[in-house]
Amino acid sequence: MANLKYVTPEKISLKNNSELNEKWVQERLAESPSILGLGDLIFKDKERIQPRAGRLDLLLQDAESNHRYEVEIQLGQTDESHIIRTIEYWDIEKKRYPQYDHTAVIVAEDITSRFLNVISLFNGFIPLIAIQMNAIKVDDNVSLICTTVLNEMSFGLVEEDEESREVTDRNYWEQRGAKETVGMADSVLEIIKKFAPDLELKYNKFYIGLAKNEQPNNFAIFRPQKNGLRIEVRLPRSEDVEKNLEKIGLDVMDYDQRWSRYRIRLTKEDIKKHADFISEFLLTAYNATT
pLDDT the model gives residue 161? 46
The structural domains of the chain, with segments of one domain joined by +, span 10-150, 170-289
> Which of 36-45, 54-63, 68-77, 185-194 has the highest mean predicted lDDT (pLDDT)?
185-194
Query: Could you read off the pLDDT of 224-262 as tens digits, one per residue?
Result: 999 999 999 999 888 888 888 888 888 888 888 778 899
For residues 243 and 115, the model is more confident at 243
Q: Which residues contact 195 (CB under 8 A, 6 or more apart)?
A: 279, 282, 283, 286
Residue 194 has pLDDT above 50, yes or no: yes
Of 138, 158, 149, 17, the residue nearest 94 (C-alpha) = 158
Q: Are 102 and 91 in contact (CB under 8 A)?
A: no
Mention the CATH class of domain 170-289.
alpha beta
Protein fold of 10-150: Trna Endonuclease; Chain: A, domain 1 (3.40.1350)
What DSSP state is assigned to residue 225? -
The average confidence (pLDDT) of the chain is 86
Query: Could you read off the pLDDT of 116-139 as tens digits, one per residue?
Result: 777 777 766 788 888 999 888 888
Q: Are 289 and 217 in contact (CB under 8 A)?
A: yes
Q: Please classify residue 188 by burial: count the beta carbons closer than 10 Å to its beta carbon, then call 0-12 exposed, 13-18 middle and 19+ buried.
A: buried
d(CA 67, CA 41): 9
Of 50, 78, 97, the residue nearest 150 (C-alpha) = 78
Q: Are 210 and 201 in contact (CB under 8 A)?
A: yes
pLDDT the model gives residue 1? 54
Q: What type of residue is 192? A: I
pLDDT the model gives residue 123? 64
Query: Could you read off the pLDDT of 153-191 as tens digits, one per residue?
Result: 544 334 444 334 567 899 999 999 999 999 999 999 999
pLDDT the model gives residue 164? 46
Poorest-pLDDT segment among 12-16, 92-96, 143-147, 229-233: 12-16
